[in-house]
Amino acid sequence: MLELRPNCETCDKDLPNGEVDAFICTFECTFCADCVEGVHKGACPNCGGNFTLRPVRPAAALARFPQSTKRVHAKK
């Protein structure tokens, strides 16, 4: 099951479930659209893989399996 991380790992922007600007790689690294396109040029800085839109967890499932609260942010 996807972890649904709550923020962009680069700029720390909040990315709640359902956010249309949330992207993930195959390792669930999570970034906003601005960082995916502008900063990382479509390649994950952690694994080198590509990104896809993060799926939305339906409300009924979200109640039972909530979004993660653990924030991941790259140290500068």
| Per-residue model confidence as pLDDT tens digits over 3-44 | 999 999 999 999 999 999 999 999 999 999 999 999 999 999
Confidence (pTM):
0.91
HSE-up of 65 (CA within 13 Å, CB side)? Answer: 10
Report the first-to-last Cα separation within the chain, whole angstroms. 30
* CATH node for 1-64: 3.30.40
Q: Give the C-alpha separation, 46 to 59, whole Å.
A: 30
Number of helical H runs and strand E runs in the chain = 2, 3
